[in-house]
Amino acid sequence: MKVIPYASAVGSVQYAVHCNRPDIAYALSVTSRYQSCAREAHWNDVKGILKYLRRTKEMFLVYGNGELILEGFSDASFQSDDDDAKSQSGYIFKLNGGVVAWKSSKQATIADSTTEAEYIAALEAAKEAVWMGNYIQELGVVPSIAEPVVIFCDNNGAIAQAKEPRSHHRSKHILRRYYLLREMVGRGDVGMDRVNSADNTTDPLTKPMSQSAHTQHLEKMGIRHMGDWL
């Protein structure tokens, strides 16, 4: 694998993700972990991503036909990494019909439950929401930004802990380590609300998906083929 330009190819994928392709953020997160120990299977995965980008090179993030309301989505895939049992986090923020911020990353610690994994993901989304809210408010172009930015999550336990934390043995460690989300909700910086798993725009940033499901989420992100909006 020494003669294979693995790191260079991953860098090209990273550039696409950062510019306008949140749909491959999860694939980038996974393949970038093996830059120092890549095997043929990993290289085949990267080539698959590049082929996908080539097939979809006329797809872009499109804005318009949406409300000027910033809304976030967070999700987690519990203990999805077979190597160390860590979970995958993802968040997406939408404004005016398209995605404006996104991230897919492996969590730094091992979550003990699905609720904890989702809570960690929601916290990361909340921190981004506060930063984005302050930035947009300074621009003075989105009046609704004065309201709390709502983050949609598909885990009832994580939402309950963020809004009304309960003291029981299964969640005490979550409250000790991630009390910041509680404070953000309590101050009115962000809000938490429920979304069905099938409607969670962040799903493709936390796990592999079937082609049909992936295509449906592209539309939710605001990624469209050039021929559909010209």
What type of residue sits at position 4?
I
User: Looking at residue 70, what DSSP letter applies?
Assistant: -
DSSP assignment of 157-177, as one string? HHHHHHHS----TTTHHHHHH
- Per the structure block, which two tokens stand in for 93? 């923020």
pLDDT in tens, 51-77: 999 999 999 999 987 778 999 999 999
* Domains present along the chain, CATH in parentheses: 1-57 (no CATH), 71-203 (3.30.420.10)
pLDDT in tens, 139-179: 888 887 888 999 999 999 999 888 876 655 555 666 566 68
CA distance 121 to 113: 13
CA distance 78 to 107: 10
Pairing of strands 98-106, 149-153: unpaired
- The whole-number pLDDT of residue 180 equals 86
Contacts of 10 (CB under 8 A, 6+ apart): 28, 31, 32, 35, 46
- The whole-number pLDDT of residue 228 equals 76
Reported pTM: 0.90
Give mean pLDDT in consecutive 10-residue pieces for the chain, a chain of 230 residues. Answer: 85 94 96 91 95 94 85 96 94 95 95 92 96 89 86 94 67 66 91 94 94 92 83
- The whole-number pLDDT of residue 64 equals 86
- The whole-number pLDDT of residue 177 equals 62
